[in-house]
Structures are given as structure tokens and as C-alpha cells.
Structure 1
């Protein structure tokens, strides 16, 4: 820290403030846990370093010289700032050592991942979690760029986790189900639909994960019985739920995500009338050197299922 154009240590600032606040070298020395002679030598060292006398020793109690009086508040502020900086650096170091970055597929971020984070922090109280939400490809991009330690993603349960390169490690940690939902009015009328009535669909883009699941596991079975009429396309499952609740069409969404909406009566589960698809939930990471926090979390996830 600079004072008068010269570098000054934090303990020197505190020495100066101790004399200024007590008006006594002996009381200041006691506050600073030094003998009076050692403290007096240190004050003289500070003055020699700065090239200026800070105190008038000819008067009792010790008087501050005018220059020090003018700068006293600034010195106090500098000391507080340095203390805060030291605390922030220590806290940041602890945070960095205990931080884990999770990448989570969007639908999981809004449903299962928060419960997972709560469980992890209940068992590892000092762990700080940074959560990144992305589509499936984005989750893997975060892993490969080392901007995430672990990714939480869906996979088709009937196919298992897609084969990954040797440097990718996967652990199955849960199950979910892709279910059809609609607003209550649509649910009441669907039983009376004629075979030629097109099913109003809230669709996903074909390149996103749930879009691929629908195209492979759900829509072929529906097309065998009736035509399909896509009404809206969205990559966001929460948006699909909202659109379904407004009566725009039928959406296939993860059951974990729809649970609250179903309980509130905003949407109705149509699983008894339309096909569903089982989903698995996996934790994924890149093999190699990891932090102690990331290793601890991975071990917890790997044995959770």
C-alpha cells in the first residue's frame, strides 16, 4: 500500500492508528502485543521509512503532527480495505477449493438437478456449486472445455447411455419418464376424437435430445393411429408445458418437471391414452485430474443409484 509515495505495510498502518487512538506509546504497545521499547523502535522505523515525523513526543499525551491528523481517516480506511481484501482472498481460496461446476440439461435444471444439489450440499456442507444450464451438446461442450466438472444429462432408458470415448466416464444416477400432458379441457375431449382427427402437437426441434426421443419412440406409434398436426415448436420444456396448459396442443415433457403442474391441475397426464418413453439420468465427467471437491461429489453421485 502506498502512503506519501512509499510502500507501507498493513501492520504499520495499525501501529500508527493504535497511537492515534490511545494517545500513548505504552497503551498502543500493549494493544499491539509488543513491549514499549520494541513498539517505539518500530514507530521510529516507520517514520524513517516515510521520511517524516508522525508524532510530537514532547507532549503528553502524544500528539499527532498536522500531516498525520489530515491523513488519519485515510489511513483508517486503507487499513480496513486491506483487511477486507485479505478476508476476500482467503474466502475466495476456500471457495475455489470447494467449488464444483455442474452442467445440467435444461429440463433437468428445472426439475431434478436442484434436488440433487440440495442433497449434495446436505452431505458436503462446504461445497459451493456453480450451475450451468445447456442443451445436451452444450453440456458435453462444457465438459470437454473443462468449464464444468460434471454434467447431468438424460439418455433413452431403453437404449442405455450412448457409447462415449474412453476419456468420458458415466454413472447412471436416476430415472424419469417422458409423458404427454394437456390442459384439462383437451383431456376431457380426447377420448371422443375420431381416428382422422389430427393430434395437436407441441413439438421439439429434431436436433435436440427430446426431439430425437419423440421422433424415435413416441410419434411413430401415434402416426399408426392418427395424423399429427404440429402447432408450435420449442426447444424449452418449460415453454412446452406452458403452451400445453393454454390448450394449444399436447406436449411430451419429463414427469419430474410436470409434477407440480399436475398437482396444481394446470395440466393433465395423458399417459393412459398416449405413449410414453422412459428416460435415464446420468452423471458424466472427463477422466483425469480433478479437485478434491469434484472427486467427492462424483463419488457421491456414482453410488447414489
Structure 2
């Protein structure tokens, strides 16, 4: 029997819907159903009535009380361990993306250590959906992510607390010509020759955000995708080599812009802002985590679920 099965069951008992509980637990409906059946197999008795509306069996009601008490007791003991000197070197676990890990986190970590003292950190990088799953499964303590409507849908404010750390910009960039103008440029009215486009993969959070921004403009751009990647770094290198126009976060292109390897390829209408946000599971209240979280909360420009995008 796994602890996550107990968490699954408690979530199901609260929402009384297999599909909603699976969504909240960041797993597919079939996988969630298999986990509930595995729990019932372990208990040796049916725990839910599989009819509409969903309800718990008498055994399920008894098991719910036992599961809730068991998890609360285990979490209390775990918190006591974390508060003791025995586990002082346990790292703060953070899930994030590769670009945030390399271009945002180092400077941010220095501001944290200047304020809270030096502490160990363990970083794991992945796509947004996998990172959210890790947070929900308590495999990490914090989620550092680019905000978008997609992440807003996946992060339930009832289970997660969120704050905005800063605002970032997605910029259209191109390698320059000899005179410093963009090799591939978009005119103010969006008209002109077809521009080769170095595209973000649909699996990346900012691809959908970019699509929504461009769709909201009065003019339709003439773009021809010639390259697509799920790595901002790979797209950056292709843009530097003069292969096309790309939209990339300011933090990823700052050095290339300063060095003159890239230039802005379009006006303000084709740039847009988005948030970098931080999230934690409300049930996770480790001492170090809460000290840092509450300190950051005092300075955050906005709290709550991702409200701006």
C-alpha cells in the first residue's frame, strides 16, 4: 500500500467524482481508477459505490476516518523530524524548467540566501505538467514556473498556494544584418514577405501563450515554421546562426542582445509580458519552506492563484 493511494482516496471522498479527483491529483482518469482499485484490493473490501452520484460504502466511511488520521499523524511526525537538528541538511526541493533553472534561479537563489542564510537546494527540471505532478505528489516542495492559462487550469487554488515573483517578457528576436537591422523582421502592420519561424514546441508553456497573443492582434502574420524544439537554448542557438525569427524569454536572450548577436525583430505589439510564479502544496508546511514562503509573500507583487494570465 502506498501513501499516495490514501491521498487519492481522501481527495475522492471530498469531491465525489473520479474524473475531478483524478484532475486534482494530476493523473489520468484510468490511472486514478486503478489506484483506487489497488487500495480496495489492499483493504479487501469495496470502499466506494460506483454509481452516480458517487458515494462511500460503510467500509469506505470507516476507512476515510482511519486514512485521514494516519496521514495527519505521519505528516506531524515528518514535520517534527524536519524541525529537528537531525535533518538540518535536507535540501529544499524545487521543480522548474531548464531555462528558469539556468537563467533565473541563480540570481534568485542569491537573493534568498542573502535574506534567509545559505541552505541546500535540489533542482529537478521538466515540462510544466510533469513539474505540477511532482508538486502534487510531494516529490518537491516548490514549483517555479512560467505562468499561463494552461498552468492556471492545472493548479487548483484549493490545494496549492501561489505567488507571482516577477514579470518577464517574450521577445521576437533575429540575428542582425551587417548594418545592425534584423535579418528577419516583422513590420508594424505585419505585412511583408513570409518570415522563417523558429518555433517553441507545443509542449512548452509559452507556445500557447504566444499563440493567444498573436491571435489577438488585428493583423495576421506571415510565418513559416522551419524549426521546432522543446528547448529554449536550442532555439536561441538557431536564431543566433541566422536561421529565422524566434520568440524567446528576455532572460534567455539578454546576453545575446547585449553582445549584438541578436536584435529585436518587431515592435511592442509583438512582445508580451507573462509572470514567473511560485507554488506550494498547502498541506506541506515544513519549517524551512514556510519561513522562506512567508518571507517572499511579504514582497510578492500578487498572491493567490495565477490571476494575471
Which bin holds the TM-score, normalised by the shorter protein?
Answer: 0.5 to 0.7
- Give me the whole-angstrom Cα distance separating, in 1, the residues matched to 2:184 and 2:224: 17
Over aligned residue pairs, what C-alpha RMSD do you find?
2.9
1:93 correspondence with 2:82: no
1:104 correspondence with 2:84: no
Q: CA deviation at 1:105?
A: 2.4
- Give me the whole-angstrom Cα distance separating, in 1, the residues matched to 2:297 and 2:125: 21
Q: Which runs of 5+ in 1 are unaligned?
A: 1-89
Instruction: Tell me the residue number matched to 2:296.
Output: 301
Local SS of the residue matching 1:111: helix
Check whether the contact 1:142–1:148 (CA below 8 A) recurs between aligned residues.
Answer: yes
From 254, 268, 280, give the equivalent of 1:285: 280
Local SS of the residue matching 2:242: coil
Deviations 1:223-273 (A, max 9, x none): x34421001001111111111111111111111221111111111122427
Structure 1 pair 294/275, CA: closer, same or farther in 2 (3 Å)?
same
- Give me the whole-angstrom Cα distance separating, in 1, the residues matched to 2:187 and 2:272: 24
- Give me the whole-angstrom Cα distance separating, in 1, the residues matched to 2:108 and 2:98: 14
Local SS of the residue matching 1:127: coil
Query: Structure 1 length as normaliser, TM-score?
Result: 0.62
- Give me the whole-angstrom Cα distance separating, in 2, the residues matched to 1:143 and 1:191: 40
Check whether the contact 1:182–1:270 (CA below 8 A) recurs between aligned residues.
Answer: yes
Query: Structure 2 length as normaliser, TM-score?
Result: 0.61
Aligned residues: 212
Write out the 4+ residue segments of structure 1 that deviate beyond 4 Å after TM superposition: 159-163, 191-194
- Give me the whole-angstrom Cα distance separating, in 2, the residues matched to 1:273 and 1:197: 20
Instruction: Tell me the residue number matched to 1:149.
Output: 141
For residues 120-269 of structure 1, the aligned pairs below 5 Å read 120-156=112-148, 161-162=152-153, 164-185=156-177, 187-188=182-183, 190=185, 195-218=191-214, 221=217, 224-269=219-264
Deviations 1:24-56 (A, max 9, x none): xxxxxxxxxxxxxxxxxxxxxxxxxxxxxxxxx
Local SS of the residue matching 1:180: strand
